[in-house]
Amino acid sequence: MSAVVGRDYLHNAWYQAAWSDELTDSAPLARTVFETPLVLFRGSEGRAVAMLDRCPHRFAPLSRGTLAAGTLTCGYHGLSFNSLGQCVQNPHGPIPPRAQVQVFPTLERHEALWVWMGEPEQADSTTLPDFGFIDTTPASAKFRGLMTVQANYQLVADNVLDLSHVAYLHPTTFGDVLMHARMSIEGDDRTLRARWESKDVKPSPAYQGAVPEGNADIWAVVNWHAPALLVIDSGAVPTGSSRAPRDSILALHSLTPAGPSSTHYFYCITRGVRTEDAEFNAQLKSLAELAFNHEDKPMIEAQQARLAQVDLSLTPPLLLSVDGAAVRARRILGRLIAAEREIPPTRQVESVP
Amino acid sequence: MSAVVGRDYLHNAWYQAAWSDELTDSAPLARTVFETPLVLFRGSEGRAVAMLDRCPHRFAPLSRGTLAAGTLTCGYHGLSFNSLGQCVQNPHGPIPPRAQVQVFPTLERHEALWVWMGEPEQADSTTLPDFGFIDTTPASAKFRGLMTVQANYQLVADNVLDLSHVAYLHPTTFGDVLMHARMSIEGDDRTLRARWESKDVKPSPAYQGAVPEGNADIWAVVNWHAPALLVIDSGAVPTGSSRAPRDSILALHSLTPAGPSSTHYFYCITRGVRTEDAEFNAQLKSLAELAFNHEDKPMIEAQQARLAQVDLSLTPPLLLSVDGAAVRARRILGRLIAAEREIPPTRQVESVP
Amino acid sequence: MSAVVGRDYLHNAWYQAAWSDELTDSAPLARTVFETPLVLFRGSEGRAVAMLDRCPHRFAPLSRGTLAAGTLTCGYHGLSFNSLGQCVQNPHGPIPPRAQVQVFPTLERHEALWVWMGEPEQADSTTLPDFGFIDTTPASAKFRGLMTVQANYQLVADNVLDLSHVAYLHPTTFGDVLMHARMSIEGDDRTLRARWESKDVKPSPAYQGAVPEGNADIWAVVNWHAPALLVIDSGAVPTGSSRAPRDSILALHSLTPAGPSSTHYFYCITRGVRTEDAEFNAQLKSLAELAFNHEDKPMIEAQQARLAQVDLSLTPPLLLSVDGAAVRARRILGRLIAAEREIPPTRQVESVP
């Protein structure tokens, strides 16, 4: 919606390419990141591999090939490649020196495959934020998914960063409990934290699991990590009660640009209560997916379609106080992208996110 | 097909945006006119409103919002707007000074909503032609509809202005009764009248309601009003009989450009005979919609597709005598659009419409 | 994939427009060749006609019209045209001098309609290669079809010219019998012959009809005629046996560019054994169409999609020995197209097809 639009990606960062259980050692998976077709699979010793999904011979997608013993064989003419992208078999003659497929650095952590689309030598596993809450939550107390939204990843991030939309877009589930919340923002040069707190309000259906009767204190804290990894810590306790860590619902919202107006939206939602209740888990999953797929997705896609018709230099968006976090996130991201390009960031117009 | 193509719209004119009964006070309606997304609804005191369908905050379509008590509330973050496009509520803080949505002049007349896409101060309700026959016809003696045709509005107007197509495109309904009709054209600087008359011919099915037995005198008069409002007065009487006003079928064909190759085609067809016969009305509606949707629409859309492949400066259309009215209409419209732009009209090549 | 891509067509050549039995004297057929919409039909005396599918009056597709007694009548306003494209009837007045539709030279031979998209005066029926095997094969010993592939015709030709793909793309039908075949290429300035021969191998299912038991000698010879007509002569005999002409399966693969990334792929497959066995014929047809539609087509279309993302000057394909015939065919075609344009051919980079 300003400095960061379209193809302005931050390349030197980890992006989620898949959930770990999407990868197998028998069927390659095709997925597009930054407009680049990738083939994802388990190579030798089960290692997760992200490779350019294009045979160097005649450009057939390698994802249409076969995978066996960690080796991917092109389904068109039979060249085989190992986990390093090296050609290990040419059934028609000697292996040509140029027979190499580009491989991207990967990291498998927190039940997810992360890929590094920038300079390989800069790939640093310590720069991935810690989402250890996913690892420590039992399977019956979490659910995850992926939806691909036809909109720029920044619009999806805006949606998570500005929870003031919840009362309007999700009235029957999350409702208006945050409508009159106190909101505060803090952050540094790569992260932001936006905190909403409502005291002594009637809980909406999404919070009635935690507080079935009487009023509640409700909170939601959005932790944003550049470029587009967000964790929401939210929950409710009976009015005036103290909070325990187990009262928090922790939700990862992990956004990966597929292209300038297409985003892979990975999510994983964990809880600390009723952790053995698989039926409750299924109910929550169904509720969340209804909200994500039928409320967030169509609105963000409609917003993207309108945005495509607007000249932002003539018609900047009208910013409200609730846009504070989204605007700060875009500024931080704009600076990081500019730094990556070694171009000094241009002066930011204050009123434009 | 020459002077007037693509995005050459006459802006300072009334265009139909909807039928009145499409508007409600509870559900906003989205419709695109001149590539501009509009949201249509009934505001305070039931007044018909046409507003830019884009929230100034984050550009969400307002048509995805909710409508209550004449106020439209954005479905994303809850800004509310009145019938004048003024923001009347910001749930997140004070109302910002720039919180205003563009509103277009409207006119509700002849059971339709008309919108003015040009200079608001030039909007003049007296310039809408009189279609009072719609108001005076009882509900059981008229029917109306809307179809959106994927073609330039001028191609749709050509279709109505040149009824010589009827024998070929509608052989089983209207048939060839006008094939050897006398045709005459008259007009002024904003209107045209093309008149077809056939004497003592066997009526086709569409005219057998009026003349069930024996031969008939049949007429069709197309009244064109710039830019693209047409009324066809047609009918049949037994050969040699005199005509009464009630013998006329009066049909409004009201064309609104949605975009350069997309047209909202509104129609309302009224009659003066068997005016209480609702079943006959339903039969006629079914007959007309068959012809419009399954004969006119696909042919005009196919013509548009072919036209998109042609360089008209190298391959002008081959004009026949029957194109006279369509050619004159395009010339008039070309002059009006040029005048609106204060550009002198270029010399018209005689053989090109 | 280099010299010949996109819209680089050889115009002065015969291209298949249809199978003869697709043409009737009662219903016109629409088909696009070289991005040019054609209407195909049987005109006077049953003569096959290929005409521009666009009425000169208002550009309606003539293929939406009616055909009677060798005359095609536009379905919009009724102009009629004969087999020479001349207007023979204008129901609305005298026939205008310019009322002429472009007609393309045609040739009906080998049960197919061939069209000449180049200079009409250069159309020479002797330049069509001889596919007489189609004529001499009884109906119960051949089958034919058409599939339209969303890829450049050169990619489809590559697929036929390089049979090394068979083992990988068609493993359950044709299998790997040619995997270790001796391959040789010969040719001249308009044709190529690529020969694969395997001695004493176990026949795959497609060859078990010819050699049900024991090992076989198997061959496949691809005869390419510029621009994109290919005949494959293939077969199997028991190891060490001599071959008779009847042992050959002869298959025409006739490629016609519909546009830069769309190809009409006509095929006709004939055999010399079990020529009266209609049920066997149906089995073979089903087998071939499975391979063509579900194995070749999706792979070639996926290859086209990847190719559209690649800058070939930066990322040339990695050529293998098996690409020899495809590379030579592209060079020949590049020279022919350059000669047609009277532009001297540029030096060919050796490693790029």
Q: What CATH number should be reported for the domain whose range is A129-313+321-340?
A: 3.90.380.10
> Residues C345, C334: contact at Cβ < 8 Å?
yes
Whether residues B76 and A169 touch (CB distance < 8 A) is answered with yes
Domain locations in chain C? 14-126, 130-340
What's the token pair of residue C186? 């010969």
Closest approach of chain A CAs to the CA of C202, in angstroms? 18
Enclosing H/E stretch for B226: none
pLDDT of residue A206: 87
> Residues A29, A64: contact at Cβ < 8 Å?
no
- Strand C249-259 versus strand A182-187 pairing type: unpaired
Is pLDDT of B352 > 60?
Answer: no
Burial of C93: CB neighbours in 10 Å, binned 0-12, 13-18, 19+: exposed
Pick from C204, C152, C169: which is nearest to C292 by CA?
A: C169
What's the token pair of residue B257? 């450009």
> Residues C180, C202: contact at Cβ < 8 Å?
no
Cα dist from B249 to A151, B224, C253, whole Å: 50, 16, 59
Closest approach of chain C CAs to the CA of B313, in angstroms? 14
Q: How far is it, in rounded angstroms, from Cα C258 to Cα C265?
A: 10
Mean pLDDT in chain A?
92
Partner residue opposite C169 with nearest CB, options A53, A75, A99: A75
Q: How far is it, in rounded angstroms, from Cα B69 to Cα B44?
A: 7
Pick from C297, C336, C348, C317: which is nearest to C1 by CA?
A: C317
**A78–chain C Cβ distance below 8 A for any pair:** yes
pLDDT tens by residue, A185-201: 999 999 999 999 999 99
Q: How far is it, in rounded angstroms, from Cα C204 to Cα C175?
A: 6
Q: Which of C294, C320, C351 to mutate to test the interface with A (most CBs of A within 10 A)?
A: C320
**Strand pairing partners for B86?**
B100
What's the token pair of residue C229? 């007509």
Whether residues A322 and B99 touch (CB distance < 8 A) is answered with no
Mean pLDDT, rounded, for A278-282:
95
**A96–chain C Cβ distance below 8 A for any pair:** yes
What CA dihedral angle connects B34, B35, B41 and B43, to 10 degrees? -70
Whether residues C96 and B318 touch (CB distance < 8 A) is answered with yes
pLDDT of residue B6: 57
Whether residues B78 and A310 touch (CB distance < 8 A) is answered with no
**B93–chain A Cβ distance below 8 A for any pair:** yes
Whether residues A93 and C321 touch (CB distance < 8 A) is answered with yes
ipTM over cut 0.90: yes
Is pLDDT of A2 > 50?
Answer: no
**Entry field: residues in chain C:** 353
Half-sphere exposure of residue C22: CA atoms within 13 angstroms, side-chain side: 20
Chain B positions in Cβ-Cβ contact with residue A351 (cut-off 8 Å): none
Q: How far is it, in rounded angstroms, from Cα B87 to Cα B350?
A: 52
Q: For residue C77, which amino acid is it?
A: H
3-state class (DSSP) for residue B262: strand
* DSSP string covering C114-155: EEE-S-GGG--GGGS---HHHHHS-GGGEEEEEEEESS-HHH
pLDDT of residue A3: 35
pLDDT of residue B2: 39
Chain C positions in Cβ-Cβ contact with residue A59 (cut-off 8 Å): 303, 306-307, 310, 317
Residue of B nearest to A318 (CA): B57
Residue of C nearest to A38 (CA): C306
In this predicted structure, which of A332-346, B41-55, B74-88, C9-23 has the lowest mean pLDDT?
A332-346
> Residues B17, B40: contact at Cβ < 8 Å?
yes
Q: How far is it, in rounded angstroms, from Cα C267 to Cα C291?
A: 13
Whether residues A77 and C158 touch (CB distance < 8 A) is answered with no
* DSSP string covering B267-318: EEEE-SSSTT-HHHHHHHHHHHHHHIIIIIHHHHHHHHHHHTT--TTTS---
Pick from B253, B259, B225: which is nearest to B329 by CA?
A: B225
Q: How far is it, in rounded angstroms, from Cα C328 to Cα A44?
A: 39
pLDDT of residue B345: 47
Tens digit of pLDDT at every position of chain C (353 positions): 343 445 689 999 999 999 999 999 999 999 999 999 999 999 989 999 999 999 999 999 999 999 999 999 999 999 999 999 999 999 999 999 889 999 999 999 999 999 999 999 999 999 999 999 999 999 999 999 999 999 999 999 999 999 999 999 999 888 888 887 888 999 999 999 999 999 999 999 889 989 999 999 999 999 999 999 999 999 999 999 999 999 999 999 999 999 999 999 999 999 999 999 999 999 999 999 999 999 999 999 999 999 999 988 888 899 998 999 999 999 999 999 999 987 554 544 333 33
Q: Which residues of A60-81 are buried (b: 16+ CB within 10 A; e: fewer)?
A: bbbbbbbbeebbbbbbbbbbbb
Strand locations in chain A (E): 14-19, 29-33, 36-42, 48-52, 66-68, 71-73, 80-81, 87-89, 103-104, 106-109, 112-116, 142-149, 182-187, 191-201, 216-225, 229-238, 249-259, 262-270
**A164–chain B Cβ distance below 8 A for any pair:** yes
Pick from B129, B118, B130: which is nearest to B13 by CA?
A: B118
Q: What CATH number should be reported for the domain whose range is B14-125?
A: 2.102.10.10
pLDDT tens by residue, B203-217: 998 899 899 999 999
3-state class (DSSP) for residue C107: strand
**A165–chain C Cβ distance below 8 A for any pair:** no
Q: How far is it, in rounded angstroms, from Cα A38 to Cα A8?
A: 19
What's the token pair of residue C45? 């005396």
* DSSP string covering A229-247: EEEEEEEEEETTPPP-GGG
Strand locations in C188-290 (E): 191-201, 216-225, 229-238, 249-259, 262-270
pLDDT tens by residue, A51-107: 999 999 999 999 999 999 999 999 999 999 999 999 999 999 999 988 999 999 999
pLDDT of residue C6: 57
Is pLDDT of A177 > 90?
Answer: no
Chain A touching partners, 3 or more CB pairs below 8 A: B, C
Enclosing H/E stretch for C6: none
| Residue B134 CB coordination number (10 Å) | 19
- Residue that the structure tokens 């160097």 belong to: A56
Q: How far is it, in rounded angstroms, from Cα A344 to Cα A338?
A: 6
Residue of A nearest to B53 (CA): A306
Q: What is the DSSP letter of C190?
A: S
Whether residues A179 and B54 touch (CB distance < 8 A) is answered with no
Chain C positions in Cβ-Cβ contact with residue A77 (cut-off 8 Å): 162, 164-165, 168, 320, 322
**Strand pairing partners for C92?**
none
Chain A positions in Cβ-Cβ contact with residue B98 (cut-off 8 Å): 318
| Residue A347 CB coordination number (10 Å) | 6
> Residues A59, A44: contact at Cβ < 8 Å?
no
Q: How far is it, in rounded angstroms, from Cα A85 to Cα A89?
A: 12
Whether residues B76 and A310 touch (CB distance < 8 A) is answered with no
Q: Which of A2, A182, A306, A350 to mutate to test the interface with B (most CBs of B within 10 A)?
A: A306
Tell me which residues of chain B, numbers 15 to 74, contact chain C at a CB-CB cutoff of 8 Å: none
Q: How far is it, in rounded angstroms, from Cα B217 to Cα C112?
A: 52
Is pLDDT of B4 > 70?
Answer: no
Pick from C28, C15, C13: which is nearest to C266 by CA?
A: C15
Q: For residue C121, which amino acid is it?
A: E
- CATH number of this structure's domain C130-340, picked from the four choices 3.90.380.10, 1.25.40.10, 3.10.105.10, 3.40.50.150: 3.90.380.10
C347 contact partners, CB below 8 Å, separation of at least 6: none
Chain C positions in Cβ-Cβ contact with residue A37 (cut-off 8 Å): 306, 309
Burial of B231: CB neighbours in 10 Å, binned 0-12, 13-18, 19+: buried
**Entry field: residues in chain A:** 353
Helices in chain A by DSSP H: which ranges?
132-136, 153-161, 166-169, 205-208, 278-291, 297-307, 324-340
In this predicted structure, which of A34-43, A116-125, B333-342 has the lowest mean pLDDT?
B333-342
Half-sphere exposure of residue C119: CA atoms within 13 angstroms, side-chain side: 4
Q: How far is it, in rounded angstroms, from Cα C158 to Cα C174?
A: 18
Domain C14-126 and domain C130-340, same fold? Reply is no
pLDDT of residue A312: 86
What CA dihedral angle connects C162, C168, C172 and C175, to 10 degrees? 50
**C259–chain B Cβ distance below 8 A for any pair:** no
pLDDT of residue C180: 78
Residue A352 — pLDDT band, cuts 50, 70, 90?
A: very low
Pick from A324, A317, A277: which is nearest to A142 by CA?
A: A277
* DSSP string covering B155-224: HHHHHHH-GGGHHHHSTTTTTTTTTT-EEEEEE-SSEEEEEEEEEEEPPPHHHHTT--SS-EEEEEEEEE
What is the CATH superfamily name and number for domain A14-126? Rieske [2Fe-2S] iron-sulphur domain (2.102.10.10)
**A239–chain B Cβ distance below 8 A for any pair:** no
> Residues B264, B16: contact at Cβ < 8 Å?
yes
> Residues A230, A333: contact at Cβ < 8 Å?
no
Q: Which fold has domain B129-340?
A: Naphthalene 1,2-dioxygenase Alpha Subunit; Chain A, domain 1 (3.90.380)
Is pLDDT of B79 > 80?
Answer: yes
Q: What is the DSSP letter of C309?
A: T
